[in-house]
Structure 1
């Protein structure tokens, strides 16, 4: 990774550690993200997104190891998820009892993905853990793929934007149930 990109990643991480919400490119759209264990940051993200807490959120990571502490995994679940990662597939996996409601919403599961987007993956790797990831748009509006539109949409907010190219997916990532293997979205 070029030096300036490393600098930008580290700058984004400084914002995350300060409790800020950031925007960054993912496999299909720009995402909004923050520290998943910082309740104030997650609630700020939900307010920006105008998303009800009951819906729950997605965590992205650079490896399964980053997600393991959050999840109840068994052989069947691992057989479902491991062949699809890293990649643009999100799985709804049983969450450990300690995982906060601001992540799971009204569910006993947590939506997770090991991303293959180079910037999002490097962001998680350098951060040392998973990040919240939800599309960077108010809930009633279409997802954003262009940084200019992102700047316009969130101009009034103090959001750090990690600029980069969005991946080639035409729609947001699919979500599957990790126990049954059935597609949810």
Structure 2
């Protein structure tokens, strides 16, 4: 059960997300930056804040498989059980698209990187938002990721809303795997 103050912060973050803003939130290991993945200006702002090239694409994080099944087809895939066996949890999978997604999400590829998180704040944030959000580490490219709202403010000043809550128990960012090859990418 999340604290009332955390619930209130999540509600404020959802309002910001729906207005196209970038927000910071705790994940399994580090603070993440997120925005509405289908709002091109929001994603552009996120890349600008991180000083990261747009062609890299982004990771999406969701509260459930149902939030992402519109874009990916797991049914009958050789790797279906392997993917579903790690969700919800700290594994991001690069999966083939069932239907096109914007290039600013995929980096122009026919795959998308997705994680169904078991972190309670991420779960609640995505549930209240009504779908997946972008998930990228809260840092300027090549700097260490933030591990608190204080570090987020130090890195980005007061330019974004930060949900102050506990990180998960991982010591490093989540693993990224390619579903089709099984290769560990990070």
Give me the TM-score of the superposition, normalised by structure 1.
Answer: 0.94
Query: Which residues of structure 2 form unaligned runs of 5+?
Result: none
Q: Give the corresponding residue for 2:156.
A: 154
Give a deviation string over 1:41-81, Cα, whole Å, max 9, x none. Answer: 00000111111112110000000010111223342232221
Query: Which residues of structure 1 form unaligned runs of 5+?
Result: none
1:178 Cα shift? 1.0
Residues 66-105 of structure 1: matches in 2 within 5 Å? Answer: 66-75=67-76, 76-105=78-107
Q: Give the corresponding residue for 1:126.
A: 128
Would you say the 8 A contact 1:25–1:163 is kept in 2? yes
Q: Aligned pair count?
A: 184
Give me the TM-score of the superposition, normalised by structure 2.
Answer: 0.94
Aligned structure 1 segments of 4 or more residues deviating by more than 6 angstroms: none
1:2 Cα shift? 3.7
Superposition CA RMSD, Å: 1.3
